[in-house]
Amino acid sequence: MQGNFPTLLLHDATRRSCIPIADFFHRDGISFPPFFFDEQAENREYAWAYVCQRQADYFLIFSALENTSKCQKRELSLGTIMPGGLRALDDRPALAIFRAADHAQSNRKISNKNMITDFRPMAIEYDGVQQVFYCDQGEWVSAVFD
């Protein structure tokens, strides 16, 4: 591991020309690491995820469980604001709270707003604010909680 970053994720980040975020753990308000790693990834869309940096931009990268993921896009741009730590939520929220994660698709409708998520979404958390990501009908959607 480089700076507590698991070797598997470090290799994946290098392949994507992305690097672990320098001094990630030296900020106040960090409760979770910049990665999520679950070797027992049953009933989940992903086995691991991490945030990394490419030049001035930050990215959220998801793994794909073998042929189970509906989302083909594995890399989401988070822009230039340094993200917080990652964790899987303990609950499965209603789809009604989610909006398209990609601003270019901001008019896209969420599948069935009365339904709850099929699996636990991934959350980026910093200083009590969470941005939650979920794959709905093959596209990433997100919601913010504070």
- Provide the domain count of the chain: 1
pLDDT tens digits, residue range 30-54? 888 999 877 665 545 567 889 999 9
What are the angstrom distances between the C-alpha of 81 and each of 12, 66, 126?
22, 31, 11
pLDDT tens digits, residue range 90-134? 888 888 888 887 655 555 556 666 788 877 788 998 888 889 988
Put simply, whether the predicted model's pTM sits higher than 0.85 gets the answer no
Q: Is residue 113 assigned to a domain?
A: yes
Q: Is residue 2 assigned to a domain?
A: no
pLDDT at 111: 60
Range of the domain at 40: 7-145
Q: Is residue 114 assigned to a domain?
A: yes
Locate 88 and state its tokens: 């899987």
Q: Is residue 91 assigned to a domain?
A: yes
